[in-house]
Amino acid sequence: MLSQSQTAGYSFSFPSTTAAYFFYFIFFFFSYFLFYSFICFPFFFFFMNDPSLINFLANEKKNLKNSLFLKTQIILTSSNQDNDCICFDSINRN
């Protein structure tokens, strides 16, 4: 005969399992918070104050914008004689 805490081979241990999940949540939450607040953020702040890096990122953003603009061709086509339908085709045809 099965006891109250065991059903079909699976034993229920509600308080200890809940406490373990709570501990895991607290541990991973605080480890994530501590890692990103005390390790990643200071390095990010330090490197973002570097003028050469800021200029490099600005140039890369400008180059990316220009390359996307050049590679993306907007082709105006019409479906009938009156030219009242304008379809934008942004597929790279190179």
Higher pLDDT pick, 4 / 35? 35
pLDDT, position 21: 81
Of the candidates 93, 38, 46, which has an alpha carbon nearest to the alpha carbon of residue 70? 93
pTM: 0.26
Could you give the CA distance from residue 47 to residue 40 in angstroms, rounded to a whole number? Answer: 11
Could you give the CA distance from residue 72 to residue 85 in angstroms, rounded to a whole number? Answer: 20
Q: How many CB atoms lie within 10 A of CB 78?
A: 11
pLDDT tens, 51-78?
A: 777 777 778 877 777 766 655 545 444 4
Domain boundaries, the chain: 12-49, 58-94
pLDDT tens, 11-48?
A: 655 566 677 788 888 888 877 777 776 766 666 666 66
